[in-house]
């Protein structure tokens, strides 16, 4: 059963008639890793903002678990149901890595337990050690910030994880590690993971590839699962 479903979704920036997305129909399930591909300016980030509840469709419906996002409390949706890993990371630069993750838990209303310990565990899962976790984000490398972004997106255990160009700034080894994390989240933790990318290599590592072209999203192909540990 699909957790995210887009029905005839169109989007145009206010004051313009030029549609960035036109009649988009798509369906995303839990336990799968998706790639949404397209050229720069094709509307990938717009699609991400609609799915993540940061913006509203001009027409059509984005449904999460059968509920129309337009009728939902989008703040609550962003806080609890979805984890977004932004292209520019969008972390709080003056805060430590661990504070970024703990803040996400607090906003989501995660109750009980030692949140700092849990945040540290999440950061360790994505390859950030305790010493790095206690450093201010601005002093971390691009790859480390990317990992902090992933840990923050996982902090509230969302059903859907969306990542915008998650490996754009990473070297080969780090890219491989990050993609392995996404695959594990989808396949072992039953998350719906959508990677917005223009990298064919990244797309090839996912279960399904969707293409965004001429403002329309179309299913491209299904991949065979890979063993990311190799």
Partner 1 sequence: MYLLTNAAKNLARNKGRNLLVGVILFTIIVAASVSVLINSTAGAVISDYKSRFGSQVFLDLDYEKAIAAGNYDEYEGAKGVQDLTPDQNFKFADSKYLHETKMTASAMINFPDAVPLDNIDDPDLQARGYLIGSNEPNISKDFESGARKIVEGRAVQAPNEAIISKQFAELNKLKIGDNLDIVRTGNKKELPLKIVGIFEDNTMLGAENNPYMQKNPLLNRNNEILVGIDTVKEFGASYVDASYFLNSPDDLDAFEAELRDKGLPDYYKLRTDEAGYQAVVGPVEGLTKLTTTFMIVVLALGAVILLLISTLAVRERKYEIGVLRAMGMRKTGVAIGFVAEMLIMTLFCLAIGFAVSAVISQPIADSLLRNQIELAAETAKNGMGGVTSINAGAGAGTGAGADSALTPLSQLTVALTAGAISQISLIALALAVVSSAVGIVYITRFEPMKILSERN
Closest CB to partner 1 among residues 54, 220? 54
> Following DSSP, what letter does each residue of 36-56 receive, concatenated?
EEE-TTSSHHHHHHHHTTSS-
Cβ of residue 87: shortest distance to partner 1, in angstroms?
Answer: 7
Closest CB to partner 1 among residues 80, 225? 80
Cα separations (Å) of 18 from 11, 12, 125, 204, 218?
9, 6, 43, 31, 20
Rounded CA separation 187/228 (Å): 11
Cβ of residue 57: shortest distance to partner 1, in angstroms?
Answer: 13
Closest CB to partner 1 among residues 60, 149? 149
Rounded CA separation 176/49 (Å): 26
Rounded CA separation 180/230 (Å): 10
Closest CB to partner 1 among residues 113, 227? 113
Cβ of residue 164: shortest distance to partner 1, in angstroms?
Answer: 9
Cβ of residue 94: shortest distance to partner 1, in angstroms?
Answer: 4
Phi, psi of 201 (to 5 degrees): -65, -45
Cβ of residue 155: shortest distance to partner 1, in angstroms?
Answer: 9
Picking from 159, 164, 188, the residue whose alpha carbon sits closest to that of residue 64 is 159
Closest CB to partner 1 among residues 37, 48? 48
Residues of this chain that interact with partner 1 (CB under 8 A) are 45, 49, 52, 54-55, 75-80, 84, 86-88, 90-92, 94-95, 99, 103-104, 106-108, 136, 152
């Amino acid at each position: 059963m699909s957790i995210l479903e887009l029905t005839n979704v169109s989007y145009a920036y206010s004051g313009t008639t030029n549609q960035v997305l036109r009649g988009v129909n798509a369906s995303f399930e839990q336990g799968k890793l998706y790639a949404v591909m397209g050229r720069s300016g094709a509307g990938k980030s717009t699609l991400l903002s609609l799915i993540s509840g940061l913006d509203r469709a001009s027409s059509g419906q984005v449904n999460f678990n059968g509920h129309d996002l337009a009728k939902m409390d989008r703040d609550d949706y962003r806080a609890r149901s979805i984890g977004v890993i932004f292209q520019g990371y969008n972390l709080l630069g003056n805060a430590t890595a661990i504070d970024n993750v703990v803040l996400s838990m607090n906003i989501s209303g995660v109750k009980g337990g030692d949140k700092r310990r849990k945040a540290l565990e999440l950061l360790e899962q994505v390859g950030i050690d305790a010493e790095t976790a206690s450093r201010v984000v601005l002093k971390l490398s691009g790859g480390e910030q990317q990992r902090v972004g992933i840990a923050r997106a996982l902090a509230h255990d969302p059903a859907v994880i969306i990542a915008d160009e998650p490996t754009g700034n990473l070297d080969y080894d780090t890219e491989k590690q990050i993609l392995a994390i996404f695959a594990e989240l989808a396949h072992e933790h039953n998350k719906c993971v959508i990677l917005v990318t223009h990298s064919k290599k990244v797309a090839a590592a996912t279960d399904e590839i969707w293409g965004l072209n001429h403002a329309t999203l179309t299913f491209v192909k299904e991949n065979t699962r890979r063993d990311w540990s190799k």
